Structure 1
């Protein structure tokens, strides 16, 4: 069975310091507490772009689940809805992009 991942891509914020404070002090603890069924949470800070253009994203969060159904159940729960709404609220550079993906991992 393939696992699943919720990807949240946050645009560059209007005020990086305010966003980072709210992300670290409010959003991450909320995600840890309220996203039921998750197996892993990865929060990446984008520091550079491999292309000549600057990245349109400041942070990318990845939340892993044992199955797509577990991910969908989480998103449809009160905790999932509250956490998603908070992501939108703190994203001062525009609405974050939410993606759902199936995951296949290859370790080398």
Structure 2
């Protein structure tokens, strides 16, 4: 089975300071605690979008799972639902974009 990941892309918040505080103090700890079956969590702060005045997203979170089945089981669990709901609640710049992906890695 291929590894899978959940990708959550947060638009630029209307209140950057409040979003960052809620993300770091509430959301990340919740994701670590309640997303059952995850193997890795990567939280990226977008610093630029070359060729654009402003990046369309402020943060991108990637949560890895050993399989798509494990990811889907997590998303349908109470902890997954609570964490996804919290992501929507704190995203003051608009609803975050949720995507799932099969992962292929190439090490150089």
CA distance in 2: counterparts of 1:43 and 1:58, whole angstroms: 11
Structure 1 unaligned spans of 5+: none
Structure 2 unaligned spans of 5+: none
Deviation of 1:53 after TM superposition, in Å, equals 3.8
Equivalent residues in 2 for 1:30-45, closer than 5 Å? 30-45=30-45
- Residue by residue, what CA displacement relative to the aligned partner does 1:35-63 show, whole Å, maximum 9, x if unpaired? 00000000000001122342110000000
Partner of 2:14: 14
TM-score (norm 2): 0.98
Number of paired residues?
Answer: 108
Partner of 1:65: 65
What's the C-alpha RMSD, in Å, of the aligned pairs? 0.6
TM-score (norm 1): 0.98
CA distance in 2: counterparts of 1:65 and 1:4, whole angstroms: 5
CA distance in 2: counterparts of 1:21 and 1:86, whole angstroms: 13
Equivalent residues in 2 for 1:46-85, closer than 5 Å? 46-85=46-85
Partner of 2:95: 95
